[in-house]
Structure 1
Amino acid sequence: MHSAAAGCAVGIDFGTASCRAVIVETATGRQLATAVADYPHGVIDRELPGGGPLGVDWALQHPSDYLTSLTAAVTEARRDAGTAADTIAGIGIDFTASTVLPIDSAGQALCLRPGFADRPHAWVKLWKHHAAQPQADRINEIATARGERFLDDYGGRTSSEWLVAKALQILDEDPEIFESAVGIVEAADWTTGQLTGVLIRNACGAGYKGLWSRAHGFPPAEFFEALDPRMRHFARDKLPGEVVPPGQCVGGLTEAWASRLGLAAGTPVAAPIIDAHAGVLGATVVTPGRMVIVLGTSTCQMLLADRHAPVEGVAGIVQDGIVEGLYGYEAGQAAVGDIFGWFAGLVGSPATDSASTFAHLEADAAAAGPGGNGLVALDWWNGNRSVLANADLSGLIVGLSLQTTAGELYRSLIEATGFGTRRILDAFEAEQIPVTELVATGGLAERSPLLLRIYADITQRPIRLATSPNASALGAAILGALAAGPDRGGHGSLETAVGRMAGLATETIEPDGTAAGQYDALYREYLELHDHFGRGESAVMSRLRRLRR
């Protein structure tokens, strides 16, 4: 047990499968404790908890899991840290996005109300729910035809992962759920509302996933009406709450939640932020030119810049979405760690634990050398987020032979995700948005030195590693400290909070120039496959996906 600190912040990080809570000293960034609680129902992708099959590309969650897991994680972390309730200055939350749910007038999730549990559209749609691709296609077609200005903020396309596509799917497939919902909200905002009794709409989620901008608000009613006449007043009627920037105090912890968590009633709770964007703060980045790569089941690339540019395939450009005064750019890859986990599951044996399987694969992949296996892959196992924004695309490996080994295949998958990152960097360079350094964070960054080496060599850029293994949770804690303010033991500015609470490892992974030629050659092959299968020359991936349905 650590000695109690004078001022601490709690960061709560809601991931795909679990909730993590960290307790961090606001003056030093020292992490006193961390605890993780899995969601009891996990990802619901085959059938509802009470029975009833789900379709292809569905991914739901149980809203009660968020409250159960945050209670378990926060109470365990507080116990391990030995902190008294009055030493907690503030609470910050980050969350996957766009993870959305329909709610009633009391703020209750519809799936928890009698008569709705057997209705799939009443449940939380997880960020990686891709069954709304037809709705996303419709949004893109109509927005393009109308010349909607918001497309410039999203690389010209919106995604099936985002709020409006998921809401439109609800309306198309179960209009009663749509009509019954008083709001369709991000799970981040719903959870914050549960803790404080105040429902807001966080600017990060609204901007990156909800088509909102600081300058223009949500799209006009005429756009929503063009999608479906019943959606004309969607923004007014289904998107409740003031849009609040990350780190602003939403309200104090309610008496009930204070008792449940063992904290003081009234403890400030910050407006939440998307998990990857929280990682930017936890990785020390508050200035332009340094790209944060959050490496997990999927990957987000985050970059700050002092101007707006129409970068191809970015998932979002939001002014003040992360750091006030700067534009935050988001790109991403829909599967990275999930690809490696899938492959390890195929080649592993029941008698071997996953850590041993990964260790063997990493060793064999390292021995294969840069691109020395004659393989090239497309990293689209869960579709393509950037730069094509198409969830119907799928994975591909070219160059297999009877001599191909598991280690060589594994390396080709790592290289494919590195090429996907390089393609995103190319899009920024094409618009004269410089990227001089990569800052890596997330579980994969900690566990796989080989991955970082391959990324440095493929991109020919230096990589730094964030000190905290939980950069997103740390970023949430930083926002909690900001919400508290200096009078309660927090901080008065984001720059001060980041400077005091976040850090980088001393080692820099410099690119190996001798690998550049080999990777340049492989990258050209990657680009040929990328454009052939991703830009309409071949629709075989979409046709095969339809055969699965």
Structure 2
Amino acid sequence: MGYFLTADGGTESLRARVYDLTGTCLGSVAVPYETRFSAGARAEQDPEDWWKAFVQASKGAIAEARVSPSDIEAITLATTSCTVVALDENGKALRPAIIWMDVRANREADAVLATGDPALILNGGGRGPVSAEWMIPKALWIARNEPEIFEKAHTICEYQDFMTLRLTGERAASLNNVTLRWHYQVEHGGWAKSLVESLGLSALLEKWPQRVVPPGGVIANLSAKAAQELGLSPSVKVVQGGADALIGMIGLGVAKPGQLALITGSSHLQFGVTEQAVYAPGIWGTYRDCVYPNRHIVEGGQTSTGSIIAWLGRLMNGTMDLAELNRKAAELEPGCDGLIVQDHFQGNRTPYTDPLSRGAIIGLTLAHEPHHIFRAIMEGIGFGTRAILDAMATAGYRGTEITVGGGAGASDLWLQIHADTAGLPVCVPASRDAPSVGAAVLAAHGAGHFSSIDDGIATMVRPGRRIEPRTREMALYNDIYQRYLALYPALKSVATAGAQA
């Protein structure tokens, strides 16, 4: 029996887990770390905190699993993406890491898009977006605003790559991250050289890790120093992971063309698997070999989803009873007695890519109660997901089923609304710890137990529930959806004026 150590390096903490070959989690320990926020939408972390958290959590998870440290065969990490670090030649951080949610690089993102470089075809068919969250805008911000740091940096990389360096001594990037957020294209020679050069960032090409390893590929064994700190054998393999949400696709078992992962939480992310590239406006991006060899991942996203439910809870001043709201909302007919919610509370990521669009609740009367608004929010989010699926279908990708990971999986009502609004079956695997399960599959594959990631999924990812769309509700939602679609153009000028005021 093989045992595998995984780490899910999130925004607030790192959680280490130990899995066996059946996909069973035997031990799980989380260690928090600090995020420091400052004016200008800045958010930073100390990379040393990640390493300390990993060492502490790993030892705790192994102890809880009651396995011998000598039985751990491989390690794989899933971490936040677009968390950028600048390191000296000894691998020490020259400044705090600029984490994914930091959007100080807005002007730099505009400059990237303005180049019109062919590499930008990945996002909206060349029309964008380019996000301030991504690698090149953040690296450009460092070069413009902290030139001494940029010049001194031996390596500019991500959270994932920093941990790889600490574990192995190797400068290696994940193919997952670089295709997803660095504009790396396997089919066009790799690095976006002309894009970087057009921005005056030629030096960045040498600062990036030159070795690119796909998910499931063995990077190296643990270094002697890392093995000693972790209390593990130097024979342990370090297997490449990637961005938490994308590694979560593996943990959800979403691997076949037509399958789509819906990663839920404060926001929604939609990741579909396709054999062909899909480049078109209204699609966040399309990435070849990002997770699986010879397959593309097509991406959409909603900026605010679960966060709208949290907003409603704040308005209710701590009186929100989710169980009661779910019960009452489930008794309502689709449409919530005339209510429609536009889910753009923090702008729209896709299909409109309009940061100035705003949320709206339409059709309110004095008869409406909190459970009406609660359900209408869920329906609006479901319609937002359907709008993304429709944009993907227009571009050439048509999903056949949705597999949900994250918070929405806890609500039967929300799952059913997603099935009914999309007109597709919704699946929920037995384990909701998708990034960690996905990392375990990659570790087992890299350790030689499975010839492919797909074989690992077949053994280690356990199926759970399947919710079918209901014919009557689908028909009702089809009519309401047309009214939902009419909201965006009708409200656009009013919302834009308000957002700019």
1:365 counterpart = 2:329? yes
Deviation at 1:316, TM superposition (A): 2.6
Question: Aligned residue for 1:519?
Answer: 477
- 1:208 is displaced (CA, Å) by 0.8
Matched, 1:286 2:225: no
AA in 2 matched with 1:127: W
Aligned residue number for residue 369 of structure 2: 405
Which residue pairs with 1:124 in the alignment? 97
By how many angstroms is 1:291 displaced? 0.7
Partner of 1:497: 456
Q: How far apart, CA to CA, are the structure 2 residues paired with 1:339 and 1:245?
A: 36
Could you tell me whether the CA contact under 8 Å between 2:347 and 2:355 is conserved in 1? yes
- Which residue does 2:419 correspond to in 1? 456
Distance 2:329 2:83 in 1: 35
Report the Cα distance in structure 2 between the residues aligned to 1:405 and 1:245, rounded to whole angstroms. 51
Whole-Å Cα distance in 1 between the matches of residues 71 and 461 of structure 2? Answer: 20
Gaps of 5+ in 2: none
CA distance 1:524–1:183, change in 2 (3 Å): farther
Unaligned runs of 5+ in 1: 1-5, 48-53, 112-122
Aligned-pair CA distance for 1:155: 4.1
More relative contact order in 1 or in 2 (CA 8 Å, sep 6+)?
1
Cα 1:408–1:125, aligned 2, differ >3 Å: closer, same or farther? farther
- For residue 80 of structure 1, give the secondary structure of its aligned residue in structure 2: helix
How far did 1:149 drift? 4.3
Contact 1:164 1:210 in 2 (8 A): yes
Give the 3 Å change call, closer, same or farther, for CA 196–337 of structure 1 in structure 2.
farther
Structure 1 distance, partners of 2:12, 2:296, is 30
- 1:471–1:65 CA distance, 2 compared to 1 (3 A): same
Partner Cα separation in structure 2 for residue 429 and residue 11 of structure 1? 35
The TM-score with structure 1 as length reference comes to: 0.84
- State the aligned residue count: 498
Post-superposition Cα deviations, 1:444-469, rounded to whole Å, max 9, x if no partner, equal: 31x21111111001101111111212
Looking at structure 1, the residues matched to 75 and 102 of structure 2 have their Cα atoms a distance apart, in angstroms, of 28
| Counterpart residue number, 2:152 | 180
Instruction: Report whether the alignment pairs 1:30 with 2:4.
Output: no
Q: 1:153 to 1:452 in 2, by over 3 A?
A: same
CA–CA distance in structure 1, aligned partners of residues 364 and 92 of structure 2 = 52
Could you say which residue in structure 1 is the equivalent of 2:183?
211
What is the aligned partner in structure 2 of residue 69 from structure 1?
A: 53
Kindly tell me: are residues 451 and 374 of structure 1, through their superposed partners in 2, closer, same or farther at Cα, counting changes over 3 Å?
same
What do you get for the CA RMSD once the two structures are aligned?
2.3
Q: CA deviation at 1:242?
A: 1.1
| 1:84 correspondence with 2:57 | no
Give the drift of 1:540: 4.0
Q: TM-score, normalised by structure 2?
A: 0.92
Q: For residues 207-256 of structure 1, give each alpha carbon's deviation from its aligned partner in whole angstroms, at most 9, with x where no partner exists.
A: 010100102212233x33433x3x2x044233233111111111122333
**Does the C-alpha gap of structure 1 residues 471 and 324 become closer, same or farther in structure 2, counting only changes over 3 Å?**
same
1:32-86 CA distance string (max 9 Å, x none): 22222222x1x433x3xxxxxx22x333333233223222322222111101112
Match of 2:428? Answer: 465
Contact 1:17 1:38 (8 Å CA) reproduced: yes
> What's the CA shift string for 1:472-497, capped at 9, x where partnerless?
11001111112222xxxx33321221
AA of the residue aligned to 2:453: L
**DSSP 3-state at the match of 2:277:** coil
Kindly provide the amino acid, as one letter, of the partner of residue 220 in structure 1.
K
5, 10, 30: which one aligns with 1:10: 5
> Displacement, 1:376?
2.3
> Could you tell me whether the CA contact under 8 Å between 2:122 and 2:183 is conserved in 1?
no
| Pair 1:392–1:9, CA change in 2 (3 A) | farther
Amino acid paired to 2:260: M
After TM superposition, give the deviation of residue 168 of structure 1 in Å: 2.3
Are the structure 2 counterparts of residues 503 and 193 from structure 1 closer, same or farther at C-alpha, using a change threshold of 3 Å? Answer: same
1:172-229 CA distances to partner (integer Å, 9 max, x unpaired)? 43333333333321111112221221121111100010100102212233x33433x3
Pair 179,389 (structure 1): closer, same or farther in 2 beyond 3 Å: farther
State the distance in 1 between where 2:327 and 2:347 align: 28
Contact 2:301-2:350 within 8 A present in 1 as well = yes
Matched, 1:134 2:87: no
SS of match in other structure, 2:331: helix
The residue type paired with residue 502 of structure 1 is V
Distance 1:389 1:19, change over 3 A: farther
> Are residues 418 and 130 of structure 1, via their aligned partners in 2, closer, same or farther at CA, if it must alter by over 3 Å?
farther
Inter-CA distance 361–105: structure 2 relative to 1 (3 Å threshold): farther
CA distance in 2 between counterparts of 1:15 and 1:73 reads 13
Instruction: Kindly provide the amino acid, as one letter, of the partner of residue 97 in structure 2.
Output: V
CA–CA distance in structure 2, aligned partners of residues 422 and 470 of structure 1: 25
